[in-house]
Structure 1
Amino acid sequence: MNICILGAGAIGSLWACYLHNAGHTVSLWTRGSEASISLSLDERPPLVFPCNQESQLSDTDVLLVTVKAWQVESAIHPIISLLKPHCSIIFSHNGMGAVETVLPQISDHPVYFATTTHGALRKDKNQIQHTGQGQTIIGSLNNLADDQLDKLVEAFNLALPPVHSDSNIGQALWNKLAINCCINPLTTLKDCRNGELAAKDTLETIETLCIEIAMVINAEGYTCDKNKLFTRTKQVIEATSANFSSMHQDIHHNRPTEIDYITGYLLQRAQAHNIDTPMNKKLFDQIKQKEALNDH
């Protein structure tokens, strides 16, 4: 397939290399004006990808959107008119709420969401590290997407397995959001790696977060057991103990975070159901304060 990746950050670059190695024709689209980008995955020889080429974009079968949640609308809006009618669009980012704003503009395309637990680190502009093996789940976001789902899953699974389809992608997204609501703000506020959240006092805070999060997810019509969420969060903390969360890295590098689409989205939905979530609100406010300090 012809695949264009919108956003050449860590995850976008990771997929670019693996999809290229699986035999697909891969191009990139970025904010810059460069005509090509060289990417080296782990210690392998560099691969050169065409970049920002309208001819490549207009011929693409799959647009994989891997920009941050807060960048989704501004990144995709200028290029929608350049896509061919049946081009599939796959979004993949942390958080929820960003895709809803652009769905009406892309209703003629099959639209999907891919959530992944693979770890990737962009060491510099040309170096990508695959820092953790994970899995990817892809689900349809509109009716047009159902026909192509199995074909896409098969192609992506051959590139970077395992990849599965999920007919209830909303549940999968909430499951990931729940973990992100616990780990991302706390690692950022404590300026620590994920593993340091296993301290007793921090786990007490996480337990409180899980109680609040579970109430919201259940009110949304999905399922979440607060005790299972707490156990799962502890497992993720242990499995990713050496990692820095994406939010920690964003604050560290003076970039905007995805807090509005992680804890912020949870708070929006909590408010819609009149559910009180004081611990999540406290962390949200503290991250917004950190962001404001970064702005100055």
Structure 2
Amino acid sequence: MNTLEYGLNICILGAGAIGSLWACYLNNAGRTVSLWTRGSESSLSLSLDDQPAILFPCNQESQLANADLLIVTVKAWQVQSAFKPILSQLKADCSILFSHNGMGAVETILPQMSEHPVFFATTTHGALRKNQQQVLHTGQGQTIIGPLNDKAEVELGSLVQAFNLALPPAHADSNIYQALWNKIAINCCINPLTALRDCRNGELAAKDTLEIIETLCSEISAVITAEGFSCNNAELFARTKQVIEATSKNFSSMHQDIHHNRPTEINYITGYLLERARAHNIDTPMNKNLFEQIKQKEAQNDH
């Protein structure tokens, strides 16, 4: 009997927008869902859109120890500090699914999870944590799930099925790093610019801004290609313009982080790109300039 298919006990680490969205949908699909947060509350009430509130057990060690699946939805820069203290409390066959913007946060701790099937999910569903008690599903999208180690290959189909039953569509992708690079490429273009210009995504469609984005795409595609993944400069530029149009009314996560004086995920988005560029001796001046400007903004927010 596959635990991912039958009677799945799920614990979600991080009750932000996406974590809360998945908690509600997985609960509505009949799964047993608990939450793990940085607070000390023993339960948390959440409503999805205008539906009745659901009371989730929260920060209960028995729920964590019994989890068949741990979903980690904290931000990239929080992964190590939030996840490592609870790793030893998981049962050996507990699957672990990470989902956040950027790359580089999981790779360093992957060897410590060799007993567990480890996955990564990237999603285009829109979610907004309106307040402590309500999460809004602001945009329909899809979720792509892929394995990060060999043990995850065996469980992949069952995990995707569980998400498809809760919040479709979900797809399996055994080459998840290609999907992650596809997403980081667009994030490198949209997130820093919206944060620096204090604007919605749609405002990046101005002609002078698109010229900057075209240069960014040229630098990004060179790095991704050097990493051994597929990326065409012109196709990336066209795809980025499509995303700007499709999400024109949205504020990017990096815009929101800067706006609310929070740390951003720049180190795991543009910072990761620059790290890989240095490894291949590729010059990326436009991306480097945006990275430095965001770091300056973060430093100003610290004061």
TM-score calculated relative to the size of structure 1:
0.99
Amino acid at match of 2:55: V
- Of 60-69 and 97-106, deviating more is 97-106
1:151 paired to 2:151: no
Q: Which sections of structure 2, spanning at least 5 residues, go unmatched? A: 1-7
Alpha-carbon distance in 1 for matches of 2:24, 2:247: 23
Q: Which residue of 1 aligns with 2:4?
A: none
Letter in 2 for 1:123: K
Of 145, 169, 187, the residue aligned with 1:138 is: 145
Give 2:264's aligned residue. Answer: 257
Taking the aligned partners of 2:200 and 2:297, their CA distance within structure 1 comes to: 18
Q: Give aligned pairs, total.
A: 296
Q: CA deviation at 1:108?
A: 0.8
CA distance in 2, matches of 1:123, 1:162: 24
- Once superposed, which parts of structure 1, at least 4 consecutive aligned residues long, lie more than 2 Å away? none
Q: 2:37 aligns with which of 16, 25, 30?
A: 30
Q: Secondary structure at the match of 1:100?
A: coil
Unaligned runs of 5+ in 1: none
Q: Which amino acid aligns with 2:285?
A: P
Q: How big is the alpha-carbon RMSD for the aligned residues of Structure 1 and Structure 2?
A: 0.5
Q: Does the 8 A contact of 1:114 with 1:136 survive in 2?
A: yes
Q: Is 2:280 the counterpart of 1:276?
A: no
Of residues 9, 16, 22, the one that matches 1:9 is 16
Aligned-residue offset at 1:127? 1.2
Offset, 1:32: 0.4
Question: After superposition, what is the alpha-carbon deviation per residue over 1:26-73, rounded to whole angstroms, capped at 9, x for unaligned?
Answer: 000000000001111111111110000000000000000000000001
Q: Which is further off, 40-49 or 18-27? A: 40-49
1:217 is matched with: 224
Q: Which moved more, 1:26-35 or 1:100-109?
A: 100-109
Equivalent position SS for 1:153:
helix
Mapping of residues 141-220 of structure 1, within 5 Å: 141-220=148-227
CA deviations over 1:231-266 (Å, ceiling 9, x no partner): 000000011111000000011111100000000000
**In structure 1, what is the equivalent of residue 245 of structure 2?**
238
1:25: Cα distance to partner?
A: 0.2
Which one-letter code corresponds to 1:156 in the other structure?
F
Taking the aligned partners of 1:139 and 1:282, their CA distance within structure 2 comes to: 32
Other-structure match for 1:53:
60
Q: TM-score, normalised by structure 2?
A: 0.97
Summarize deviations over 1:156-196 as a string: whole Å, max 9, x none.
Answer: 01100100000110100000000000000000001000011
